[in-house]
Amino acid sequence: MATHPSTRSSARSSARPGRPTRERILDAAHHLLRTLGLARTTTKEIAREAGCSEAALYKHFSGKEEIFVRVLFDRLPRLNPLLSELARDPGDRGLERNLLQVTEHAALFYEQSVPIAAALFAEPALKRRHFEGVRELGAGPRTPLRALAAYLRHEQARGAVRADADVDAAAALLLGACSQRAFLYDFAGGERPEQPLDAFVRGLVRTLLHGLAPTAGGGADGR
């Protein structure tokens, strides 16, 4: 789980002089979220770490929830931006290559985000307030699921995914496996998974493709 430094020796360690205030705030939030966790990170702590006032922080962000969402998008592995791009335009890289990239990003994204959010589950009222705030910003844990399913529907429409495939289930299986891997990694106190990331990614995508890809010579429903 997230570690809890016993001193303030790290104060302002992430504030780099010369960077715009907004970027310093995100740098500071990323550092604190990874060391203190989401539940213990406050806007006051973020402002102190960034070397600015809380008033300056609120000129750039509506609150901690918006900062958290921007850290997820801008400072962690680019899962959400990648999925948003694929949902808008799948491009011509092909289903397998896109899923390999998504799976690698998802595994790394959850590896960093699970420890950040884990402490919320010990405080139900705080967790409820946090996710209500995140939902108001149009984000939340279902966002990547919806985006991945939307991408798979694009591939289904152009024949790369069999017509009878359940793309919502496929998205849940892929992201759920990545999230579970991160949870087990974090729950074990930082112990590295036995299976290397590359093997995990390729094995998961290969297994999914068995259920998604049309069979050679089959009809629109894959039969």
Report CA 176 to chain centroid distance, whole Å: 12
Residue 193: band (very low, low, confident or very high) from pLDDT cuts 50, 70, 90: confident
Alpha-carbon distances of 76 from 43, 137, 138, 209, 213, rounded to whole Å: 19, 18, 18, 27, 30
Residue range 186-208: average pLDDT? 86
**Phi-psi label, residue 154: left if phi above 0, alpha if psi -120 to 50, beta otherwise:** alpha
Q: What is the mean pLDDT of residues 73-95?
A: 90
Residue 3 burial (C-beta neighbours within 10 Å; 0-12, 13-18, 19+): exposed
| % of residues, the chain, pLDDT over 90 | 53
Mean pLDDT estimate for the chain: 84
Q: pLDDT per residue over 2-23, tens digit each?
A: 443 333 334 445 556 678 999 9
Other C-beta atoms closer than 10 Å to the C-beta of 200 total 18
CA 38 to chain centre: 14
Q: Is the pTM of this model over 0.85?
A: no
Cβ proximity of 55 and 44 under 8 Å: no
